[in-house]
Amino acid sequence: MTIASYFANDYPEAREKFIAAAKDAGAALERYTNPAKGPSGEDLTTDVAWLGPQDASSVLVTLSGTHGAEGFCGSGVQVGWFRSGRAARLPPDTALLQIHAVNPFGFAWLRRTTEENVDINRNYVDFDEPLPVNEGYLKYRNLICPDQWSEEIAAQTTSEINRLIEELPPMVMQGAISSGQYVDPNGIFYGGQRPSWSRLTTESIFDRYLASAKRIALIDYHTGLGPRGYGERIGVGSPGEAAWDRSQNWWGDVTSIHDASSTSAPLHGTNMEAWVRYLSHAEVTATVLEYGTQPLSQVLTALRADNWLHAHGDLDSDVGRQIKRQARDAFYQDSDDWKTMIWSRGIDTQEIALARLAAGTRS
Protein backbone atom coordinates (compact mmCIF):
# COMPACT_ATOMS: atom_id res chain seq x y z
CA MET A 1 0.00 0.00 0.00
CA THR A 2 1.13 3.57 -0.65
CA ILE A 3 1.50 6.12 2.14
CA ALA A 4 -1.24 8.23 0.55
CA SER A 5 -3.67 5.31 0.83
CA TYR A 6 -3.52 5.50 4.63
CA PHE A 7 -5.24 8.89 4.56
CA ALA A 8 -8.94 9.57 3.97
CA ASN A 9 -11.12 12.18 2.26
CA ASP A 10 -13.62 12.59 5.10
CA TYR A 11 -14.50 11.37 8.58
CA PRO A 12 -16.61 8.32 7.54
CA GLU A 13 -13.81 7.04 5.30
CA ALA A 14 -11.19 7.70 7.98
CA ARG A 15 -13.21 5.77 10.53
CA GLU A 16 -13.79 2.89 8.13
CA LYS A 17 -10.07 2.67 7.33
CA PHE A 18 -9.09 2.80 10.99
CA ILE A 19 -11.50 0.04 12.04
CA ALA A 20 -10.54 -2.22 9.14
CA ALA A 21 -6.81 -1.74 9.74
CA ALA A 22 -7.17 -2.35 13.48
CA LYS A 23 -9.19 -5.53 12.93
CA ASP A 24 -6.70 -6.87 10.39
CA ALA A 25 -3.87 -6.20 12.87
CA GLY A 26 -5.70 -8.18 15.56
CA ALA A 27 -6.43 -5.20 17.80
CA ALA A 28 -9.40 -5.12 20.17
CA LEU A 29 -11.87 -2.34 19.32
CA GLU A 30 -14.28 -0.26 21.34
CA ARG A 31 -16.37 2.77 20.40
CA TYR A 32 -17.82 5.75 22.26
CA THR A 33 -20.80 7.41 20.57
CA ASN A 34 -21.06 11.19 20.56
CA PRO A 35 -24.53 12.70 21.22
CA ALA A 36 -24.43 14.73 17.99
CA LYS A 37 -24.86 13.50 14.40
CA GLY A 38 -22.80 13.98 11.28
CA PRO A 39 -23.67 16.01 8.16
CA SER A 40 -25.64 13.08 6.71
CA GLY A 41 -27.22 12.09 10.01
CA GLU A 42 -24.59 9.42 10.67
CA ASP A 43 -23.42 8.38 14.13
CA LEU A 44 -20.21 9.99 15.32
CA THR A 45 -17.84 7.88 17.40
CA THR A 46 -14.49 8.01 19.07
CA ASP A 47 -12.96 4.61 18.33
CA VAL A 48 -10.34 2.90 20.46
CA ALA A 49 -7.94 0.15 19.37
CA TRP A 50 -5.78 -1.80 21.83
CA LEU A 51 -3.01 -4.15 20.75
CA GLY A 52 -0.79 -6.03 23.16
CA PRO A 53 -0.95 -7.45 26.70
CA GLN A 54 -3.84 -6.19 28.81
CA ASP A 55 -1.47 -5.79 31.78
CA ALA A 56 1.41 -4.19 29.88
CA SER A 57 3.67 -2.00 31.99
CA SER A 58 4.41 0.31 29.05
CA VAL A 59 1.83 1.79 26.67
CA LEU A 60 2.24 3.94 23.56
CA VAL A 61 -0.86 6.13 23.15
CA THR A 62 -1.62 8.02 19.93
CA LEU A 63 -4.53 10.42 19.52
CA SER A 64 -6.08 11.92 16.39
CA GLY A 65 -8.76 14.54 15.90
CA THR A 66 -8.48 16.43 19.17
CA HIS A 67 -9.17 19.41 16.94
CA GLY A 68 -11.65 17.66 14.68
CA ALA A 69 -10.72 19.04 11.26
CA GLU A 70 -7.09 18.24 12.03
CA GLY A 71 -7.98 14.57 12.35
CA PHE A 72 -6.98 13.58 8.80
CA CYS A 73 -3.31 13.81 9.75
CA GLY A 74 -3.27 11.64 12.86
CA SER A 75 -5.79 9.21 11.40
CA GLY A 76 -3.48 8.58 8.45
CA VAL A 77 -0.56 7.77 10.74
CA GLN A 78 -2.72 5.54 12.94
CA VAL A 79 -4.03 3.58 9.95
CA GLY A 80 -0.55 3.33 8.46
CA TRP A 81 0.92 2.14 11.75
CA PHE A 82 -1.39 -0.88 11.51
CA ARG A 83 -1.16 -1.40 7.74
CA SER A 84 2.63 -1.17 7.56
CA GLY A 85 3.03 -3.92 10.16
CA ARG A 86 4.82 -1.65 12.62
CA ALA A 87 2.10 -2.14 15.22
CA ALA A 88 2.85 -5.85 15.29
CA ARG A 89 6.47 -5.22 16.34
CA LEU A 90 5.79 -4.17 19.92
CA PRO A 91 8.54 -4.71 22.50
CA PRO A 92 7.85 -7.14 25.36
CA ASP A 93 5.47 -5.94 28.09
CA THR A 94 4.33 -3.08 25.83
CA ALA A 95 0.91 -2.28 24.37
CA LEU A 96 -0.47 0.16 21.81
CA LEU A 97 -3.55 2.29 22.46
CA GLN A 98 -4.78 4.27 19.44
CA ILE A 99 -7.64 6.74 20.05
CA HIS A 100 -9.22 7.76 16.75
CA ALA A 101 -11.28 10.95 16.40
CA VAL A 102 -11.17 12.36 19.93
CA ASN A 103 -13.57 15.01 18.63
CA PRO A 104 -15.67 13.17 16.03
CA PHE A 105 -18.11 16.07 15.61
CA GLY A 106 -15.38 18.44 14.52
CA PHE A 107 -13.83 15.80 12.27
CA ALA A 108 -17.13 15.13 10.50
CA TRP A 109 -18.17 18.78 10.20
CA LEU A 110 -14.67 20.07 9.37
CA ARG A 111 -14.46 22.13 12.54
CA ARG A 112 -11.73 22.35 15.15
CA THR A 113 -14.40 22.58 17.83
CA THR A 114 -16.96 20.28 19.40
CA GLU A 115 -20.74 20.20 19.06
CA GLU A 116 -20.78 23.02 21.67
CA ASN A 117 -18.18 25.12 19.83
CA VAL A 118 -15.66 24.17 22.53
CA ASP A 119 -11.96 23.94 21.77
CA ILE A 120 -10.98 20.75 23.62
CA ASN A 121 -7.41 21.97 23.97
CA ARG A 122 -8.67 24.94 26.03
CA ASN A 123 -11.25 22.86 27.96
CA TYR A 124 -8.89 21.27 30.50
CA VAL A 125 -9.31 23.83 33.26
CA ASP A 126 -10.75 23.44 36.76
CA PHE A 127 -14.28 24.77 36.32
CA ASP A 128 -14.69 25.01 40.09
CA GLU A 129 -12.05 27.75 40.11
CA PRO A 130 -12.15 31.24 38.50
CA LEU A 131 -11.61 30.83 34.78
CA PRO A 132 -8.68 32.42 32.93
CA VAL A 133 -9.30 35.89 31.50
CA ASN A 134 -7.97 36.70 28.03
CA GLU A 135 -7.81 40.51 28.03
CA GLY A 136 -6.55 40.58 24.46
CA TYR A 137 -9.55 38.67 23.16
CA LEU A 138 -11.91 40.99 25.01
CA LYS A 139 -10.16 44.00 23.49
CA TYR A 140 -10.07 42.72 19.91
CA ARG A 141 -13.17 40.49 19.86
CA ASN A 142 -15.03 42.46 17.16
CA LEU A 143 -11.97 42.40 14.95
CA ILE A 144 -11.30 38.69 15.47
CA CYS A 145 -14.94 37.54 15.19
CA PRO A 146 -16.98 40.08 13.20
CA ASP A 147 -20.73 39.56 13.01
CA GLN A 148 -20.68 40.02 9.22
CA TRP A 149 -18.48 38.24 6.69
CA SER A 150 -17.54 38.91 3.09
CA GLU A 151 -14.37 38.87 1.02
CA GLU A 152 -13.94 42.58 1.77
CA ILE A 153 -14.43 42.14 5.53
CA ALA A 154 -12.10 39.14 5.53
CA ALA A 155 -9.40 41.14 3.76
CA GLN A 156 -9.80 44.19 6.00
CA THR A 157 -9.78 42.31 9.29
CA THR A 158 -6.94 40.02 8.22
CA SER A 159 -4.85 43.03 7.22
CA GLU A 160 -5.49 44.69 10.59
CA ILE A 161 -4.70 41.50 12.52
CA ASN A 162 -1.46 41.06 10.56
CA ARG A 163 -0.52 44.66 11.33
CA LEU A 164 -1.09 44.12 15.03
CA ILE A 165 0.89 40.87 14.99
CA GLU A 166 3.83 42.81 13.54
CA GLU A 167 3.52 45.90 15.75
CA LEU A 168 2.70 44.37 19.15
CA PRO A 169 5.25 42.42 21.20
CA PRO A 170 5.76 38.78 20.10
CA MET A 171 2.78 36.47 20.63
CA VAL A 172 0.55 39.24 22.06
CA MET A 173 -1.93 39.25 19.19
CA GLN A 174 -1.59 35.53 18.53
CA GLY A 175 -2.27 34.97 22.23
CA ALA A 176 -5.32 37.25 22.10
CA ILE A 177 -6.69 35.09 19.31
CA SER A 178 -5.63 31.59 20.28
CA SER A 179 -4.64 31.26 23.95
CA GLY A 180 -8.26 30.55 24.93
CA GLN A 181 -11.28 32.49 26.15
CA TYR A 182 -14.22 31.55 28.39
CA VAL A 183 -16.74 34.37 27.89
CA ASP A 184 -17.88 34.15 24.26
CA PRO A 185 -19.56 30.82 23.37
CA ASN A 186 -19.88 31.89 19.72
CA GLY A 187 -16.25 32.94 19.43
CA ILE A 188 -13.06 31.14 18.47
CA PHE A 189 -10.87 29.18 20.88
CA TYR A 190 -13.74 29.01 23.38
CA GLY A 191 -12.85 26.82 26.37
CA GLY A 192 -16.42 26.21 27.53
CA GLN A 193 -18.12 26.35 30.92
CA ARG A 194 -17.91 22.66 31.78
CA PRO A 195 -15.93 19.57 30.76
CA SER A 196 -16.82 18.61 27.18
CA TRP A 197 -18.04 15.19 26.06
CA SER A 198 -14.68 14.62 24.38
CA ARG A 199 -12.75 15.45 27.54
CA LEU A 200 -14.90 13.18 29.69
CA THR A 201 -14.71 10.40 27.11
CA THR A 202 -10.93 10.58 26.89
CA GLU A 203 -10.67 10.44 30.67
CA SER A 204 -12.94 7.37 30.66
CA ILE A 205 -10.70 5.72 28.07
CA PHE A 206 -7.62 6.46 30.16
CA ASP A 207 -9.32 5.05 33.27
CA ARG A 208 -10.26 1.88 31.42
CA TYR A 209 -6.99 1.19 29.61
CA LEU A 210 -4.14 2.90 31.47
CA ALA A 211 -4.88 2.34 35.16
CA SER A 212 -2.14 -0.26 35.60
CA ALA A 213 0.47 1.19 33.24
CA LYS A 214 3.78 2.28 34.75
CA ARG A 215 5.22 4.08 31.71
CA ILE A 216 3.10 5.91 29.14
CA ALA A 217 4.07 7.73 25.95
CA LEU A 218 1.43 10.16 24.63
CA ILE A 219 1.53 11.53 21.07
CA ASP A 220 -1.27 13.89 19.99
CA TYR A 221 -1.45 14.83 16.29
CA HIS A 222 -2.29 18.39 15.22
CA THR A 223 -2.06 20.59 12.12
CA GLY A 224 -2.18 24.28 11.22
CA LEU A 225 0.98 25.80 12.69
CA GLY A 226 4.50 26.09 11.35
CA PRO A 227 6.21 25.33 8.03
CA ARG A 228 4.26 23.17 5.60
CA GLY A 229 4.67 19.48 6.36
CA TYR A 230 7.12 19.94 9.21
CA GLY A 231 6.14 18.24 12.46
CA GLU A 232 7.13 20.38 15.42
CA ARG A 233 7.41 18.34 18.61
CA ILE A 234 5.91 20.45 21.39
CA GLY A 235 6.67 19.23 24.88
CA VAL A 236 4.57 19.36 28.03
CA GLY A 237 5.44 21.93 30.66
CA SER A 238 8.64 23.97 30.79
CA PRO A 239 12.36 23.17 30.63
CA GLY A 240 13.49 22.01 34.04
CA GLU A 241 10.28 20.07 34.73
CA ALA A 242 10.60 16.28 34.71
CA ALA A 243 8.07 15.54 31.95
CA TRP A 244 9.48 18.19 29.60
CA ASP A 245 13.09 17.22 30.27
CA ARG A 246 12.26 13.58 29.64
CA SER A 247 10.60 14.40 26.31
CA GLN A 248 13.64 16.45 25.29
CA ASN A 249 15.88 13.54 26.25
CA TRP A 250 13.78 11.18 24.11
CA TRP A 251 13.34 13.24 20.96
CA GLY A 252 16.01 15.93 21.18
CA ASP A 253 14.20 18.76 19.39
CA VAL A 254 11.21 19.46 21.64
CA THR A 255 9.88 23.03 21.97
CA SER A 256 7.83 24.65 24.73
CA ILE A 257 4.88 27.04 24.63
CA HIS A 258 6.23 28.61 27.83
CA ASP A 259 9.63 29.90 26.64
CA ALA A 260 8.82 31.24 23.13
CA SER A 261 10.59 28.32 21.43
CA SER A 262 7.31 27.02 19.95
CA THR A 263 5.25 28.37 17.06
CA SER A 264 2.30 28.18 19.47
CA ALA A 265 1.37 30.98 21.86
CA PRO A 266 1.02 30.11 25.58
CA LEU A 267 -2.34 28.41 26.05
CA HIS A 268 -4.93 27.93 28.79
CA GLY A 269 -6.47 24.54 29.58
CA THR A 270 -4.33 22.28 27.41
CA ASN A 271 -5.07 18.57 27.28
CA MET A 272 -1.51 17.27 27.44
CA GLU A 273 -0.54 19.09 30.63
CA ALA A 274 -3.81 17.95 32.20
CA TRP A 275 -3.24 14.36 31.08
CA VAL A 276 0.22 14.23 32.66
CA ARG A 277 -1.43 15.22 35.96
CA TYR A 278 -4.40 12.88 35.41
CA LEU A 279 -2.08 9.92 34.80
CA SER A 280 0.17 10.75 37.75
CA HIS A 281 0.32 7.10 38.79
CA ALA A 282 2.63 6.51 35.80
CA GLU A 283 5.71 8.08 34.28
CA VAL A 284 4.25 9.99 31.33
CA THR A 285 6.31 11.31 28.43
CA ALA A 286 4.30 13.35 25.96
CA THR A 287 4.56 15.42 22.82
CA VAL A 288 2.21 17.23 20.49
CA LEU A 289 3.14 16.78 16.84
CA GLU A 290 2.14 20.03 15.14
CA TYR A 291 2.34 19.99 11.33
CA GLY A 292 2.25 23.10 9.16
CA THR A 293 -0.22 23.48 6.30
CA GLN A 294 -0.58 27.09 5.13
CA PRO A 295 0.82 30.42 6.33
CA LEU A 296 -0.57 31.38 9.74
CA SER A 297 -2.54 34.31 8.32
CA GLN A 298 -4.43 32.01 5.94
CA VAL A 299 -5.15 29.47 8.67
CA LEU A 300 -6.49 32.14 11.03
CA THR A 301 -8.66 33.63 8.28
CA ALA A 302 -10.10 30.20 7.49
CA LEU A 303 -10.75 29.58 11.17
CA ARG A 304 -12.48 32.93 11.64
CA ALA A 305 -14.57 32.40 8.51
CA ASP A 306 -15.69 28.97 9.71
CA ASN A 307 -16.57 30.40 13.11
CA TRP A 308 -18.71 33.07 11.46
CA LEU A 309 -20.38 30.49 9.24
CA HIS A 310 -21.53 28.29 12.13
CA ALA A 311 -22.53 31.26 14.29
CA HIS A 312 -24.28 33.42 11.67
CA GLY A 313 -24.16 31.92 8.18
CA ASP A 314 -25.78 29.22 6.04
CA LEU A 315 -23.81 26.02 5.53
CA ASP A 316 -25.99 25.11 2.55
CA SER A 317 -24.95 28.09 0.44
CA ASP A 318 -22.19 28.90 -2.03
CA VAL A 319 -20.44 30.97 0.63
CA GLY A 320 -20.85 28.17 3.17
CA ARG A 321 -19.40 25.56 0.84
CA GLN A 322 -16.51 27.84 -0.06
CA ILE A 323 -15.69 28.44 3.61
CA LYS A 324 -15.78 24.71 4.38
CA ARG A 325 -13.33 24.03 1.53
CA GLN A 326 -11.15 26.78 2.93
CA ALA A 327 -11.30 25.23 6.41
CA ARG A 328 -10.41 21.77 5.10
CA ASP A 329 -7.40 23.11 3.19
CA ALA A 330 -6.20 24.97 6.28
CA PHE A 331 -5.89 21.77 8.28
CA TYR A 332 -5.38 19.07 5.66
CA GLN A 333 -3.11 19.25 2.63
CA ASP A 334 -4.52 16.64 0.24
CA SER A 335 -1.23 16.02 -1.57
CA ASP A 336 1.12 13.04 -1.59
CA ASP A 337 4.24 14.97 -0.59
CA TRP A 338 2.55 16.45 2.49
CA LYS A 339 1.21 13.03 3.52
CA THR A 340 4.70 11.55 3.13
CA MET A 341 6.14 14.23 5.42
CA ILE A 342 3.40 13.58 7.97
CA TRP A 343 4.07 9.86 7.88
CA SER A 344 7.86 10.12 8.06
CA ARG A 345 7.92 12.38 11.10
CA GLY A 346 5.10 10.45 12.76
CA ILE A 347 6.73 7.02 12.52
CA ASP A 348 10.06 8.43 13.63
CA THR A 349 8.43 9.95 16.71
CA GLN A 350 6.53 6.77 17.56
CA GLU A 351 9.50 4.45 16.98
CA ILE A 352 11.66 6.56 19.29
CA ALA A 353 8.91 6.39 21.90
CA LEU A 354 8.70 2.60 21.65
CA ALA A 355 12.47 2.25 21.94
CA ARG A 356 12.57 4.42 25.06
CA LEU A 357 9.61 2.60 26.59
CA ALA A 358 11.41 -0.69 25.96
CA ALA A 359 14.58 0.67 27.57
CA GLY A 360 12.51 1.62 30.61
CA THR A 361 11.01 -1.87 30.74
CA ARG A 362 14.47 -3.49 30.82
CA SER A 363 15.85 -1.19 33.50
Instruction: Give the residue among 279, 118, 124 at the shortest CA–CA distance from 212.
Output: 279
Task: Please report the pLDDT score of residue 170 as a whole number.
Answer: 74
User: pTM for the whole thing?
Assistant: 0.96
Could you report the average pLDDT of every consecutive run of 10 residues in the chain (363 residues)? 96 98 98 97 98 97 97 98 95 97 98 96 94 93 95 95 88 85 95 97 98 97 95 87 90 80 66 92 95 94 96 95 97 97 97 93 44
CA 269 to centroid of chain Cα atoms: 13
Q: Which of 10, 22, 1, 30 is nearest to 78 (CA)?
A: 22
Beta bridge partners of 104: none
Dist. CA 63–CA 101, nearest whole Å:
7
Neighbours of 361 (CB within 10 A): 16
Per-domain residue ranges for the chain?
3-127+188-298+327-362
What's the CATH code, domain 3-127+188-298+327-362?
3.40.630.10
Round to whole Å and give the CA distance between 363 and 360: 5
Look at residue 363 in the predicted model and tell me its pLDDT: 38
- Residue 173 has a pLDDT of 86
Question: Which of 11, 161, 158, 139 has the alpha carbon at shortest distance from 72?
Answer: 11
d(CA 149, CA 313): 9
